[in-house]
Structure 1
Amino acid sequence: MSKKFNIATLMLATSLAFVACSNKNSEDTDTKENTAVEEKADETKDTAEKSKEDKKTEVEETTDDDKDKLEENNMDEESEEKDKEEIDDSDESSMEGNVVLHRAYPDEASRSFTNVVVATSGDKIVNAFIDEYQYFDEDENYQGVPNSDKEFGQGAKEGKVLASKIENKQPYSESMKQAGGKASLMDNYNAVTDFVKGKTITELEEFLDENDDEKIIDSLSGATFKSTPSLLRYVVDASKDDSYVIEGNADNPEDIELRYALGAPHGDKSFANAVIAVEGDKIIAASIDEYQYIEEGITKQGEDSDFAKDYADSKTVLASKLENNDLYSDLMKEKAKSTTSIKDNFEAIENFVAGKTISNAKEGEAIETVSGATLVDTAGYLQLIVDAAENAINK
């Protein structure tokens, strides 16, 4: 793991910032055209006829004035509508990025809790990340996820530890070789991520439709694990899932690199991960999520999954805070009077780092507030992003 940098010393507290913008269009003057009517008095004309002509002139003048005012009001409305459209277009373009990180969790039960983040640009996948969390026996000497030795670890059955396969790639690869496997863990992960790079989502969907699992494994250079076809499907599914996305702008989207770190930014009851898209020394986009054992939480790894066999309590499941945004945010509101959801807090932090260089993010860049974030541990999540940005995933 990367060297920690003390962003927390630069930030004692964070607060909710609200930014309000307003547009004001004014049209101050109404012009009125007066019509003067000159008539030569004809003393021989009947007085009643003259009165009738005067009334006709007054009606014409009033009608002309009303017409002028109506035309001016219409012009004002058209101008205001045009200004509104220009503002909307400007806001939309400023929010759009040419790199999108999609975070998703497979919609099926298995032995592992799989985490997938896919970077897309337009209709192409430009990079992808995979890690799997799995329970192992404590005596197998796997390094548990952060806080496994603290309260979080109590969510696992006695004698079991939850571990990241990437963080334990060497012992896991050794165990696969002992079972007859010919490739390492990273060989298999890289076979999947390298295969999808530069391909359109449609191309990959067609490939999956036209090939069985055996042909899929044969087509991915370096892949030997039986789980390879499932991992490929997870990546393709995630690329189409917009439930948890964050955008950024890269000079060349196809050159971005994905980096990863685990941490414990919020107490000892949970752990978190960050997946970061970097280009050179710049953070393009960041995706974070946190995991906690939650009673009756939403998860694909519930009671019926093999993964759930190692829960200390089958009703208290390992759950993503993003997937449980409503439930967890209600708890935040009840216990800490929070008015901002966990999802919105994460997005505020992610938006804060987008476009910053790694060195600026590392130094804290005079961080006093992250607009939109109300979490007391915001500095901890920022530190996790810095750790990820400096932690290249070994090929």
Structure 2
Amino acid sequence: MKKAILMMLLFTAFLFVGCNGTEDTPPEEDAAEQTPEEEEETSESPDEGEEAIDVTLKTMYNAPHGDKAFASTFVVMDGDTIVDVILDEYQFMDNADVTGVPNSDASFGEGSAEDVTLISKLENDEIYSEMMEGAGSTVSYSDNLTAIQDFAIGQTVAEVEAAISELDDLEEDDEIADVVSGATFVDTSGYLQAIVDTANEGFEFSSAPEVNLENAELSYSLQAPHGDQSFAVTAVLHDGDTVLAATIDEFQYLDPADFDGVPNSDAGFGENYNDDVVLASKILNDESYSGMMTDIADATSTYVENIQAIIDHAVGSTVEEIEATIDDLNGLGEDEEIADVVSGATFVDTSGYLQAIVDTVNH
């Protein structure tokens, strides 16, 4: 598996590709029933007297804690200052009593070993925190992440890096909470490093050119916008019901000969895969996945180009306006084009990706 930094560099190249192509279907095994999607961009000027700033929403996949899980990290940046953060990790657990990621009970779930389910630790906070209690933890998983995220918010990347060095220099009797208030994770520095790496190297889609952060909120959710063979991670920066920035990516079990797996695919996490598959990010495997789309469904635009078009359409729009677009898409006649509603989009499930953004804002 390529190192995460190489994957980020590869993805950066994808983001400079234009979004004007026309495309057809992302390949999941029933690709004949599938097609991709996109959108456009609008923005409003801030009220007079309010300070407008350029803001970026960045995403990266990391391995901050051991080799049995991987993390999604979302970071909102204002220049070199961290404005907001959300972290979540995904791990395989015994089937009993856990809530799996979307489509775990469908075709997606067939990609893992028989007796385990891929979960979000945040969505299973109570169960996972009980496991931590068995190891002597007195602070829940979500409370630990909140403490780490709150510590990073408002600091520069350099200031967080200084805290990482301080944590790494702690003696045996020193307390992690003396550096990061409320945190007890032994790998607290690893989670902070995930934030730093995402701030420095994470991929991003275009956002509103001017953003006022006074009332902005970062929301995150897991979705199933396209078929039953994958699930999506969606993060949206929004001011009330107006979308300021967004990111969407999907994970699917694919052939390891052609696709790079998520972090720890070659370690303990990957030991839970079924035979001859690897869990892959579609964005970080854009070239390979788009090639499948071309081979199976004659797609003419890449996966990333379609997702960019969808996000471009949503940014600057309200939830109500996006829902109106979804209605328009669902009402298209057989001979009408998706791109006539969402410029640049060709995914047959374009409405599903827009709905993922709406559901995340409302999450």
TM range (shorter): 0.7 to 0.9
- Determine the structure 1 residue equivalent to 2:104: 148
| Contact kept in structure 2, 1:151 and 1:269, CA below 8 Å | yes
**The 10-residue stretch of structure 1 (277-286 or 361-370) with the greater mean CA deviation from structure 2:** 361-370
Q: State how far apart, in whole Å, the 1-side matches of 2:284 and 2:348 are.
A: 21
Pairing partner for 1:233 from 185, 193, 199: 193
Residues 194/303 of structure 1: CA separation in 2 closer, same or farther (3 Å cut): closer
The amino acid that maps onto 1:384 is A
Matches within 5 A, 1:1-395: 98-106=54-62, 110-139=67-96, 141-212=97-168, 214=170, 217-249=177-209, 251-253=211-213, 255-296=215-256, 297-301=259-263, 304-313=266-275, 315-364=276-325, 367-368=328-329, 369-391=341-363
The amino acid that maps onto 2:235 is V
The structural deviation recorded for 1:168 is 1.1
Using CA pairs under 8 Å that are at least 6 residues apart, name the structure with larger relative contact order, 1 or 2.
2
Residues 357/390 of structure 1: CA separation in 2 closer, same or farther (3 Å cut): same
Q: State how far apart, in whole Å, the 2-side matches of 1:260 and 1:15 are.
A: 21
Q: State how far apart, in whole Å, the 2-side matches of 1:222 and 1:180 are.
A: 16
| Contact kept in structure 1, 2:39 and 2:314, CA below 8 Å | no
Higher helix share: 1
| Contact kept in structure 2, 1:282 and 1:358, CA below 8 Å | yes
The structural deviation recorded for 1:221 is 1.6
- Determine the structure 2 residue equivalent to 1:51: none
1:247 match: secondary structure: coil
In structure 2, stretches of 5+ residues that fail to align are 1-34, 41-51, 330-340
* Residues 166-217 of structure 1: CA deviation (Å, up to 9, x unaligned): 1111221222223211111211111111111111112222332344164655
| Contact kept in structure 2, 1:274 and 1:286, CA below 8 Å | yes
- Determine the structure 2 residue equivalent to 1:91: none
Q: State how far apart, in whole Å, the 1-side matches of 2:205 and 2:160 are.
A: 20
The two structures have a TM-score, normalised by structure 2, of 0.76
How many correspondences in the alignment? 301
The amino acid that maps onto 1:353 is A
The structural deviation recorded for 1:256 is 2.2
> % of aligned pairs identical?
39
- Determine the structure 2 residue equivalent to 1:93: none
1:289 match: secondary structure: strand
Residues 122/16 of structure 1: CA separation in 2 closer, same or farther (3 Å cut): closer
Runs of 4+ in 1 over 6 A off after TM superposition: 13-18
The amino acid that maps onto 1:234 is A
**The 10-residue stretch of structure 1 (330-339 or 217-226) with the greater mean CA deviation from structure 2:** 217-226
Q: State how far apart, in whole Å, the 2-side matches of 1:156 and 1:381 are.
A: 25
* Residues 134-168 of structure 1: CA deviation (Å, up to 9, x unaligned): 100012x1011111111110111010000111111
The structural deviation recorded for 1:246 is 3.4
The two structures have a TM-score, normalised by structure 1, of 0.70
